[in-house]
Chain A
Amino acid sequence: MDTTPVVCFENVYKRYQLGSRRAAIRYLLPGKTTQIPDNGKQSTDQPDQANELWALRNASFEVRPGEMIGLIGPNGAGKTTILSLLSGITNPTSGKITVTGRVGALIKLGAGFHPDLSGRENIYLNGSILGLKKAEVDRLYNKIVEFAELEKFMETPVKRYSSGMYVRLGFSIAVHINPDILLLDEVLSVGDVSFQSRCFNRIGELKDSGSTIVLVSHNMHQISGFCDRVIYLNQGEIKDVGEPDQVIKNYLDNMLDQQLSTALEDGSDLEQVNGSGRMVIKDVAFLDCNGNRINSINSGEPLTIRVFYVTRDEVNDPLLDVVIRDIARGNMFQATNRDFGIELGKMGNSGHIDITFDGLTSNNQVLNFFFTLWDSDHTEQYDWKRYIKLKVSGKPSSSGRHIFNCDWKNSID
Chain B
Amino acid sequence: MLSIEKKDQTKIYTGTRTLKENLQLFVDFRELLLTWTAREIKGRYRQSALGFGWAFIQPVVQIVVISIVFGRFMQVPSDGVPYPIFTFVAILPWSFFAGAVSAAIPSLLGSMDLITKIYFPREFIPLAAIVARLVDLLIASLVLVSLMIYYRIPFYPTLIFVPLLLVIQIMLSIGIGLIGSAVSVFLRDISFAIPLVMQIWMYATPVIYPISVIPEQWRTLYSLNPMVGIIDSYRRVVLLGQLPDGLSLGISAAFSVVLFVFAYVYFKRLELFMADIV
Contact = CB atoms under 8 A, between A and B. Distances in A.
Nearest to B115: A89
Given A28-B187, A113-B113, A100 B270 contact: no
Given A89-B117, A128-B31, A97 B43 contact: no
Contact of A88 (B8, B116, B119, B277): B119
Given A89-B275, A95-B14, A100-B8, A110 B113 contact: yes
**Do most interface residues of chain B lie in helix, strand or loop, or is the interface mixed?**
mixed
A27 interface: yes
B11 interface: yes
A274 interface: no
Contact of A91 (B29, B31, B111, B272): B272
Nearest to B118: A112
A125 B39 contact: yes
Contacts of B183: 28
A101 B8 CA distance: 6
Contacts of A256: none
Nearest to A55: B276
Interface string B255-278: 000000000000001101101110
A371 B274 CA distance: 55
A91 B1 CA distance: 10
A115 B10 CA distance: 31
B14 A117 contact: no
B120 interface: yes
A87 interface: yes
A35 B59 CA distance: 54
A153 to B, nearest CB: 17
B70 interface: no
Contacts of B116: 89, 107-108, 110
A108 B112 CA distance: 14
Contacts of A116: 43
B145 interface: no
A89 B118 contact: yes
B142 interface: no
Contact of B9 (A94, A96, A102): A102
A63 interface: no
A16 interface: yes
- Size bin of chain B's contact surface: 35 or more
Nearest to B269: A31
Contact of A98 (B12, B28, B35, B114): B12
Interface residues of A, number: 47
A87 to B, nearest CB: 6
Contact of B13 (A17, A92, A114): A92
B247 to A, nearest CB: 33
A131 B6 CA distance: 12
B186 A25 contact: yes
A84 interface: yes
Interface in B178-200: 183, 186-187
A108 B273 CA distance: 18
A94 B276 contact: no
Interface in B157-203: 183, 186-187
Given A24-B187, A89-B275, A101-B9, A111 B14 contact: no
Interface string B1-38: 01000001111111110000000000011011001000
A102 B4 CA distance: 11
Interface core residue of A93, A95, A100, A112 (most chain B CB under 10 Å):
A112
A223 interface: no
Contacts of B115: 89
Nearest to B183: A28
Interface string A56-99: 00000000000000000000000000001101111111111111
The 5 closest A-B pairs by CB, nearest first: A112-B118, A88-B119, A112-B117, A97-B13, A24-B186
Interface of A: 16-17, 21, 24-25, 27-28, 31, 34, 84-85, 87-102, 105, 107-108, 110-117, 121, 124-126, 128-131, 180
27 contacts: A27-B270, A84-B275, A87-B118, A88-B11, A89-B118, A90-B276, A91-B13, A91-B15, A92-B15, A95-B14, A95-B15, A96-B13, A97-B12, A97-B14, A98-B10, A98-B11, A99-B12, A100-B9, A100-B10, A102-B9, A110-B113, A110-B116, A112-B114, A126-B118, A128-B35, A129-B29, A129-B119
Given A89-B115, A108-B117, 16 more contacts: A16-B276, A17-B276, A24-B187, A88-B2, A89-B119, A89-B275, A91-B272, A92-B13, A95-B15, A96-B14, A105-B117, A107-B117, A110-B117, A112-B117, A114-B113, A126-B118
